[in-house]
Amino acid sequence: MKQDFNYIYETYYQRVFRAAFSLTKDQGLAEDVLQESFLKAYHKLHLIEDEAKVGAWLTTIAKRTAIDLLRKEKRTPVLSLEETCLPEHQLDFSESAVEKEIEENDIRQGIKEKINTLPTKLRKVFQLKYYGELQEKEIASALKLTNSAVKSRLFRARNNLKTKVLDVAGEQSA
């Protein structure tokens, strides 16, 4: 399969870069993560049993490599909301494309503002879970927390955001 490595690199380059950039928020660091991820993958290519899962496998390597790099550099990942706030199918507007885009941006901005009001401990866990797409174990490892602490913080963050959104909705209907 090593002779197919060029094909794998070309096919998954963008996906791996996006995964790295979503955590590092720095093009240079993301490129470092990309390079290191493909190097790790090259040496472990013989372990792949299901070629259909190569993309997911590479993405996982990239995310874990990015977390390790961030931990080494003692940086806190700053994840932006603009990437993936709400899935397109959940936004149902009957306005024109321009009006729809403006409305979506307003919603994203409102949610971003609410997320930014969360206490730092809750915000970090929430962003890693929903924007970094990390599993609770990975978050616990990245932030040096227990799994139960991560679950607790996610629960509190969701409840906090829910309360804030309901408060705003109540104010607008009054």
Fold matches, 2-73 and 88-173: no
Residues in the chain: 174
Summarize pLDDT for 141-157 with one digit per residue, the tens: 989 999 999 999 999 98
Task: Kindly list the domain boundaries of the chain, sorted by start residue.
Answer: 2-73, 88-173
CATH 1.10.1740.10 fits 2-73, yes or no: yes
> For residue 84, is pLDDT > 60?
no
> So what's the pLDDT on residue 161?
84
CATH 1.10.10.10 fits 88-173, yes or no: yes
pTM: 0.42
